[in-house]
Structure 1
Amino acid sequence: MLQKFQNHLNKNLPFLKGKKLLLAVSGGIDSMVLVELLHHLKFDISVAHCNFNLRGDESDGDTEFVKSTCEKYSIKFYVKHFETKEYANLHKLSIQVAARQLRYDWFNELLEKKGFDYLLTAHHLDDSVETFLINFTRGTGLEGLTGIPQQNEKIVRPLLIFTREDIEEYSKENNIEWREDSSNASDKYLRNKLRHKVIPILKELNPGFSDSFLQTLENLQQSESMVDDASRIVYHEVVQDSDNEKRINLSELMMLPNYQAYLYQWLKPFRFTAWKDIYDLVSAQSGRQVFSEEYRLLKDRDTLILAKKNELKLEVYPVYEDVENLNVPLKISVCNKSDFRLDDKRCIFADKDTLKFPLEFRKWEEGDYFYPFGMTGKKKLSKYFKDEKFSLIDKENTWLLCSDNEVVWVVGKRADRRFSVNETTRNIIKIELK
C-alpha cells in the first residue's frame, strides 16, 4: 500500500510535495494509517483533532491517544473541545450536522491562522460507496453519484483509491495502533446501516465490486464534466446576467428538449429543493415565485428572474444637504447653471429652493404618485411600473427620493418635473447615484 500511495501522490497529487499539511485525525484506523503513511514519506504534517464530548471518557481517551502518537513522531498537535449537543440544540441541527459544521469551521480557522496549504482527510473508497448509496436512496442528480471528490479547494482526500480492507491490512502489517469509535457499531445512522448490511452483500455478489465501483465513478465523473460543459455553453445563450439578478429567457429555454435538466444545473448552486414547483413555474402565471433559503425565482411574463430575497425593511433615511449620508447611495452637490444638463438615469438637477431638507430616501408604497418629467399630469407609481414593464423584483428594488413626502425622483429611473430647473431657478443642486 505504501508504494501504491506514493505513486498515487506523485501522479495525481504532486502539488502536496513540500507543502504545509494539516491532517484531520480522529484516532480511528483510517486517519492513523494516513498519519503513518505521510510521516513515513517525510511530508510536512501537523494534526488537528476534534473532541466533540459525545462519548465521555472514550472521547477523552481518543484525544490522549492522538496526542501521544503525535508526541512520539514529533508532530505538531492541535486539539479543540466542542459542546456539540448544546450547539446542535441552539441551532436546531442534528448531532452529525452540528459536528461537521464545528470541525470544518475550526479546520478553516487553522488553515488561515497557521498558514497551512491544505487540509487532508482520511476518506477512502468505502466512504465514497456509502455516500453514493445515501444520495441514491434520497434522490439526487448526477453530481450526487460521483462519489466524494478527491479535492475540494484546500481539502484533499488522498486515500480515496483504497478500500477499508486495504487500510486494515496495512495497519496489521505495520502494527499501527488506533482507537475504535463505539458509535460505529450502532445501526442508528443510515451510513452505518449501509456499511454493515448493504455493502457486504454487494461485495459478496461481486468480488470485484471495489474495482467496478471505481470505474463507475470515473465514468460518471466524465459524464458530469460533459454536462457541465454543455450547461455553460447554453447558459450564455439563454441567461442574461447582471450584478443583482439573472434573467432566464423562457422562449429560448423552451426550445430545448431537456430544459428541466438545464434549469437544475443552473439553479442547484442556489440551494433550491422544490424542483417540481420550479419546473411548473415555466408555464405558470406572472408573479408566481419559488423560494430557497436565500433566493427567489420569479415568473415575470416570458422570463424567470433569479434574485436574492429582499430583506430590506421599509425604513425612511434622511438625506441632508451638507452631510455625507452613509445609509444612502446618493451624492448632493451645488452647481452653476453652466454645469446644468438634461437629467439622465443616474443623476438629476433640481431647483434647490423647491426642496425641503432633510429629504427622505425610502421604498415606494401603494398610492405613491409623481409628475413625470417630460409629461403632463400626474401618474401613480403602480401605473408607471406597469407601463415600463417592471417585474415584481424591479418594483421591490425601487427607491424614491422625496421632499415633504412629495416624490422628487424615482431613483435611477425618472425625475419629477415639479422640482426641475427652469428659467427662474436661482440655485441648482445635482443629486446623483454614487
Structure 2
Amino acid sequence: MLDAFLTFINQHKLDLKKQPCLLTVSGGVDSVVMLDLFHKAGFPAGIAHCNFGLRGEDSEGDEQFVQQLSDKYGFPFYTKRFDVKSLTQKKGISTQMAARELRYAWFEELRTTHHYTYIATAHHANDSLETTLLNLVRGTGLSGLSGISAINNHLLRPLLLATKEEILGYATENALPWREDRSNDSDDYKRNQIRHQVVPVLKQLNPSLESTFIQSSAKLSSADRLLKEVLDEWAASIVVKTGDQVRISKAGLMSESEPAYRLWHILQDYGFAYAQVGKIVEGLNGISGKIFQSASHTLLIDRQDLIVRKSTVNEVDYYIQIEDNQQTAEFAGQCISLTKKSSNTDNNFVNSPNSVSIDYDKLVFPLQLRRWRLGDAFQPLGMNGRRKKLSDLFTDLKMDHFAKQQTQILVNGNDEIIWVVGVRLDERYRITESTQQILQAFLSTHE
C-alpha cells in the first residue's frame, strides 16, 4: 500500500517533503494508516485532533490515544475541545454539520499559523462512493457523481485510491492499533444507511464495486473538467460583469443547444438551483420584468439580458438632509459633490445625467436626497410647463428594475424635484440669463 500511496502523490505532482501537511487524526483505522504512511514516506507533518466530547469517556480516550501516536511518530500534536451543542442551537443545524464547521475552521487556522501547505484527511474510496450515492439521492450534477476530489485548494485526500478493505489489511499486516467509533455502527445517519444497507446490495451485483467506482470516478472527473473548460470559454462570450451586476445575453443563450444546462453553469455560483433555471429559461420569451431569487442573489429578466445582482435588504424609506454650503452628500456607495459659484465665473452650463448646474437662488434649504416614490413627478429639462411621472420617464428610458430601484432624487425645500440623480435635471432649475449664483452638483461612485 505504501507504493500505491507514493504513486498517488507522484501522479498529483506533490512534493510533500517540501510541502508539510497537517494530518487530521481521529484515532480510527483510516487516519492511523494515513499517519503511518506519512511517517514511512518521510514526509514532514503535524497531527490535529478534535475532541467534541460527544462520546464521554471514549472521546477522552481518543484524544489520549492520538497524543500517544504523535509521541511515537515524533510529529507535533495539536488538540482542541469544542462546544458543538452551542453551535447547533445557535445556528439551528445538525450536530454533524456543526462539528464539520468547527473542525475545518480550526484546521485552517492551524494550517496558516504553523505554515502547513495542506490539510490531509483520511477519506478513502468507500467514502467517495458513499458521497456519490448520497449526492445521487439528493440530486446532483456531473461533479457530484465523481465523488470526493483528491485535492481541493488546501485539502488533500491521499487515501482515495485505497478501499476500506485495503486499509484494514494494511493496519493488520503492520500491527497498527486504532480506536473504534461505535457511532459508525448506527443507522441513525444517512451515510451509515448507505454504507450498511445500500452498498452491500450493490456489491452483490458487482463484487469489485469499489475498484469499478475508482475508474468511473476518474472518468467522470475528467469529463467534468473538460465540460467546464468548454462552458467557461462559451460563457465569457455572453456574460458581462459591470460593477455589482452580471449581464447574460438572452440571444446568446437561446441560440445554443441545452440553454438550461448552460445557464445553470453560469448561475450555480449565485445560488440558483437547476429547477429555478428551468423556469427562468421558460420565461425568456415572455414579458420582461420577471424576477427570481436565490438565497443570495436576485435575477431580473430584462429586455435583452438577464441581470443578476446580490440581493439587498429593502430599507425603510429615508432621506438625507443637505444644508446650505454643504460640500458632499454620500449615499448607497455614491457621492454628490456640491460647489457654489457665481454665474459670471463660468459660462459652461452644459448639463449631463451625472453633472448638473442648478440655479442657486431658487433653492430653499435644507434640500433632501431620497429614494424616488411611485407618484413622483417633475418637469424634465427641455419640457417647458409639462410634468412627467418618474415611472413614465423610466419606462421611456427603458431602465431595468435594478436601475429604477437605485434611483435617488434631489428635492427642494418646497417639495419640488430638482434633479433625478444620474438621470435628468428639472426644467425649473436650469441656468438662465438672469441666474446670479450656481450650485454645481456632480455624481460619482465609490470604488
TM-score relative to the length of structure 1: 0.92
Alpha-carbon contact 1:310-1:396 (below 8 Å) kept: no
Partner in structure 2 of residue 389 of structure 1: 398
- Aligned counterpart for 1:318 among listed residues 316, 321, 344: 321
SS of residue paired to 2:404: helix
Calculate percent identity across the aligned residue pairs: 36
Alignment CA distance shift 1:366-1:112 (3 Å): farther
Counterparts of 1:97-116 in structure 2 under 5 Å? Answer: 97-116=97-116
SS of residue paired to 1:78: strand
Q: Which moved more, 1:30-39 or 1:295-304?
A: 295-304
Instruction: Work out the CA distance in 2 between the residues paired with 1:83 and 1:96.
Output: 13
Q: Which moved more, 1:279-288 or 1:377-386?
A: 279-288
Partner in structure 2 of residue 351 of structure 1: 359
Alignment CA distance shift 1:56-1:280 (3 Å): farther
Q: Which moved more, 1:280-289 or 1:267-276?
A: 280-289
Counterparts of 1:22-421 in structure 2 under 5 Å? Answer: 22-273=22-273, 274-275=275-276, 276-313=278-315, 314-320=317-323, 321-322=325-326, 325=329, 327=331, 329-334=334-339, 337-338=345-346, 340-376=348-384, 377-404=386-413, 405-421=415-431
Partner in structure 1 of residue 440 of structure 2: 429
Instruction: Work out the CA distance in 2 between the residues paired with 1:16 and 1:354.
Output: 74
Alignment CA distance shift 1:333-1:163 (3 Å): same
Instruction: Work out the CA distance in 2 between the residues paired with 1:277 and 1:114.
Output: 48
Alignment CA distance shift 1:422-1:261 (3 Å): same
Partner in structure 1 of residue 7 of structure 2: 7
Instruction: Work out the CA distance in 2 between the residues paired with 1:43 and 1:403.
Output: 73
Q: Which one-letter code corresponds to 2:429 in the other structure?
A: F
Alignment CA distance shift 1:48-1:412 (3 Å): farther
Instruction: Work out the CA distance in 1 between the residues paired with 2:167 and 2:234.
Output: 44
Q: Which one-letter code corresponds to 2:388 in the other structure?
A: K
Alpha-carbon contact 1:284-1:299 (below 8 Å) kept: no
Aligned pairs, number: 434
Q: Which one-letter code corresponds to 1:385 in the other structure?
A: F
Instruction: Work out the CA distance in 1 between the residues paired with 2:318 and 2:112.
Output: 38
Structure 2 gaps of 5+ residues are none
Q: Which moved more, 1:358-367 or 1:333-342?
A: 333-342
Alpha-carbon contact 1:245-1:305 (below 8 Å) kept: yes
- CA shift, 1:293, in A, is 0.6
Q: Which one-letter code corresponds to 1:416 in the other structure?
A: D
- CA shift, 1:186, in A, is 0.5
Alignment CA distance shift 1:202-1:422 (3 Å): same
Alpha-carbon contact 2:349-2:431 (below 8 Å) kept: no
SS of residue paired to 1:348: strand
**Cα-Cα RMSD:** 2.3
Instruction: Work out the CA distance in 2 between the residues paired with 1:5 and 1:101.
Output: 28
- CA shift, 1:97, in A, is 1.6
Alpha-carbon contact 2:328-2:338 (below 8 Å) kept: no
Alignment CA distance shift 1:345-1:45 (3 Å): farther
1:281-323 C-alpha deviation (Å, 9 max, x unpaired): 3344433222111112222234322121132513323345446
Moved >4 Å (runs of 4+): 323-328
- CA shift, 1:128, in A, is 0.8
Alpha-carbon contact 1:360-1:403 (below 8 Å) kept: yes
Alpha-carbon contact 1:22-1:118 (below 8 Å) kept: yes
Alignment CA distance shift 1:282-1:71 (3 Å): same
SS of residue paired to 1:305: strand
Alpha-carbon contact 1:247-1:305 (below 8 Å) kept: yes
Q: Which moved more, 1:375-384 or 1:181-190?
A: 375-384
SS of residue paired to 2:282: helix
Instruction: Work out the CA distance in 2 between the residues paired with 1:340 and 1:427.
Output: 11
Instruction: Work out the CA distance in 1 between the residues paired with 2:284 and 2:181.
Output: 50
Q: Which moved more, 1:49-58 or 1:336-345?
A: 336-345
SS of residue paired to 1:9: helix
Alignment CA distance shift 1:406-1:96 (3 Å): farther
Q: Which one-letter code corresponds to 2:416 in the other structure?
A: E
- CA shift, 1:355, in A, is 3.4
Q: Which one-letter code corresponds to 1:59 in the other structure?
A: S
SS of residue paired to 1:293: coil
1:403-432 C-alpha deviation (Å, 9 max, x unpaired): 334333322222233333333232443433
SS of residue paired to 1:179: coil
Alpha-carbon contact 1:51-1:81 (below 8 Å) kept: yes
- CA shift, 1:17, in A, is 3.2
Alpha-carbon contact 2:231-2:265 (below 8 Å) kept: yes
